[in-house]
Amino acid sequence: MTSVRLPDAEWQHNDGLKRVLAALDDVYGGPRYVGGAVRDTLLGLPVSDVDIATALLPDEVINRLEAAGVKAIPTGIEHGTVTAAVEGKNYEITTLRRDVATDGRRATVAFATDWQEDAARRDFTINALYASPKSGEVFDYFEGLSDLEARRLRFIGDANKRIAEDFLRILRYFRFLARYGGGQIDTDAIQACAMGAHGLTALSRERIAQELTRILGLKNPVASIELMIANGIFTPFLPELSGSAADDLLHLVEREAQYAQPVSLPARFLALLTHDIVAADKVAARLKLSNKMREGFAQRLRAGVPKPFNVRAIAYRADIDTARDAVLLYAVDADVPECLAQLEQWNIPTLSIKGGELINMGLPPGPLVAKTLQAIEAAWIEEGFPDAARQGALAAQMVDAALAGLNQSN
């Protein structure tokens, strides 16, 4: 045990949380906060999700919550998890467990009353920290506190064994390394991830995509991605990985920081891939990414190389986010500031000329109207989206040209 106390934080004073904790009071020293809420509070980071561990069996948890007027949702009751919904917030409550059997994708568990036994089945030492809501005492069974202080990420026990229990832990390792690492790398853990990478083929593509998205969404995942590439982690599920993926991602992340741009998942994904629409579409389909993400890949790859004179045209044909990502991914260094300035606080305009106006100007209804509208739009884009007066002048010019061509053909 340890004398460390959980620092006071705003999330601990939520009235709904207090109701949940009071309902789950037991004779085993629980309930206790566990995992991310403890870890991030110790690091002074904001806490969004609060997980609670208890020795009470799931049915007892449900009964107690309902008796306290708290909605109980059996979100994963076969694994001992019940969600308490109260005052607009959800709290995940899980009964202490021990693994009975695993197959690399899921575990068969038995419920327990031993806190250290529950901690032993968790993935990393920094995720196996518990804290008493009453006293604030932190319970550390596997030196997670020292690892947290040293920014060192370690598996609990034998890394190969932990990975064999659930191969997703390989990707989780690199995600946590990107977020909490910075100290000495555990070479045994890296080797175990490399040796177990083949097991990623046993996972659903949705689970892989979710973890990869979380990695890429972090502020700076470059070092983790470099380690993943060097140790063959992508090989089983991402053959489209570019030979320059690590350098391209680094370049993108550096530009995001230099120009204070938000993280864009489509851009982060594309930085890893070969510059090919077909290949990117295969990745999106294989990982079952959203249709929006899939189309986003195509739009960014079709954008070409942005320049100050064409970047607004790219935005007009797609959207501002697509154009901004294309700049960060593909523009030459000298053009980036001006391209981004062209997009800053620019609202995509609308061509005011309609087909009816062209008919009123003398064009016969039919395909020629659509063709002339396209010509007007192209000229308008080429001139940098001038105002309504210039649009009218362009329309008159194009109508005259269309009518002249029509008269010649007749």
Q: pLDDT tens digits for 226-270?
A: 999 999 999 999 999 999 999 999 999 999 999 999 999 999 999
pLDDT category of residue 102 using cuts at 50, 70 and 90 = low
Give pTM, 2 decimals: 0.86
**pLDDT score recorded for residue 282:** 96
User: Looking at residues 144-164, what average pLDDT do you find?
Assistant: 95
Cα–Cα separations (whole angstroms), residue 152 to 186, 194, 334? 8, 19, 39
- Apex 323 CA angle, 321 and 324, nearest 5: 65
Helical (H) or strand (E) element with 39:
helix 36-42
Distance CA(129)–CA(96), nearest Å, equals 13
Least confident of 108-112, 136-140, 311-315, 360-364: 108-112
**pLDDT score recorded for residue 319:** 95
Long-range contacts of 244-247 (CB under 8 A, 24+ apart): 245/271, 245/272, 245/273, 246/222
| Cβ atoms < 10 Å from Cβ of 106 | 11
Least confident of 21-25, 73-77, 133-137, 188-192: 73-77
- Going by the DSSP 8-state scheme, the letter that residue 13 receives in this structure is G
User: Looking at residues 277-289, what average pLDDT do you find?
Assistant: 96
Residue 105 has pLDDT above 90, yes or no: no
Residue 363 has pLDDT above 80, yes or no: yes
Residue 77 has pLDDT above 90, yes or no: no
Q: Which of 160, 146, 156, 76 is nearest to 119 (CA)?
A: 156
**pLDDT score recorded for residue 107:** 56
Residue 106 has pLDDT above 80, yes or no: no
**pLDDT score recorded for residue 108:** 59
Residue 347 has pLDDT above 80, yes or no: yes
pLDDT category of residue 104 using cuts at 50, 70 and 90 = very low
Strand order in the sheet with 32-34: 71-76, 81-86, 89-95, 51-54, 32-34, 129-131, 138-140
Provide the CB-side half-sphere exposure for 30 (13 A, CA). 26
**pLDDT score recorded for residue 78:** 82
pLDDT category of residue 1 using cuts at 50, 70 and 90 = very low
- Apex 293 CA angle, 345 and 259, nearest 5: 35
**pLDDT score recorded for residue 10:** 94
Q: Where are the alpha helices (DSSP H) in 259-354?
A: 265-272, 277-286, 291-302, 311-317, 320-330, 336-343
Identify whether the C-beta of residue 93 lies closer than 8 Å to the C-beta of residue 82.
yes
Backbone angles phi, psi at 73, to 5 degrees: -115, 120
Identify whether the C-beta of residue 119 lies closer than 8 Å to the C-beta of residue 133.
no
Tokens read off for 126: 């920094």
User: Looking at residues 136-149, what average pLDDT do you find?
Assistant: 95
Residue 334 has pLDDT above 60, yes or no: yes
